[in-house]
Amino acid sequence: MNTRTSAKKPETSTNDEGGVSGAVEPIGVDDMENIVAKAIEAALRVIREEVNAKFQHLNDYIAELEARIENLEGAKQARDDNDLAEQSTALSNQQLQLTLEAIKEENRRTRCAANDTEQYGRRHNLRFRGLKLKNNENCRNVVCGFINSNLKVTIREEDIEVAHQLPVRPATSPTTTGTVPEPIIIARFRDRNIRDAVIRQRKELKGTRCTIVEDLTSLNVEVMNRLRNSDQVDKCWSWNGHIYALLKNKKKIRVRPYQTIPECEVVQ
């Protein structure tokens, strides 16, 4: 017996009232693939946005760290430069100080050499203080007569090459107001031996207002004044242009310009 296969009718749906609302077509494979593809694309888009946001946040943080590192390195470099500049300044100041000290030392040596030369040129000279002078009186005669009568040394007027009185400066000290400073006569002897014989006899003037001293340079006079004002010095004197001092500890020293007492040479 032949059987007849009837065609499959499309499904229908009824509404609540029992009426037919329409047919629902089945979803095909292509449609399903499109739906899945769209869902995946949307999900990937969301993921990409989130990943991009994370990367951007990381990039911003890295940029901030790099900026902070750059600032720290800049500050360190500035400190290093400042330290280097300070070291360079300190070194420059040290070099300048050393240069100044070298110049001072060279200047002192030059002045000492010039002082020695000047003092050597005065080796025949003596200074007489307290001699009485009359108007227009010859200084050579006065000095010669004073030596013969007061020092027990016989000389002739020709033994004195030249003699003259230094200008008298007015007294400025309050204790000497109204007094006239003692005149000073410088005498230059022709013979060094006569000059030495005269100054050796100055002990005969002890207790008088007259004194005899060597004709010292201004720099050596400064040295003598410094020694007289020192509480370490008992007494000081000069001989042949050299300055000596006897300390209170009984040491005898020779003193040169610019020397401190501990730097001086101890002599017998």
Superfamily, domain 124-215: L1 transposable element, RRM domain (3.30.70.1820)
Residue 15: pLDDT over 70: no
Residue 91: pLDDT over 80: no
Q: Which two tokens stand for residue 268?
A: 């017998």
Q: What is the mean pLDDT of residues 257-267?
A: 92
Residue 177: pLDDT over 80: no
Domain ranges in the chain are 30-122, 124-215, 216-268
Tell me the DSSP string of 97-119. HHHHHHHHHHHHHHHHHHHHHHH
| C-alpha span between 168 and 191 (Å, rounded) | 28
- The closest of 175, 185, 227 to 210, measured between CA atoms, is 185
Quick: pLDDT tens for 193-227: 999 999 999 999 998 989 999 999 999 999 999 99
Enter the pTM of the model.
0.60
- The closest of 250, 247, 245, 252 to 268, measured between CA atoms, is 252
- pLDDT for residue 74: 74
- pLDDT for residue 57: 74
* DSSP helix/strand/coil, 225: helix
- pLDDT for residue 7: 42
Categorize the per-residue pLDDT at 179 as very low, low, confident or very high, splitting at 50, 70 and 90. Answer: low
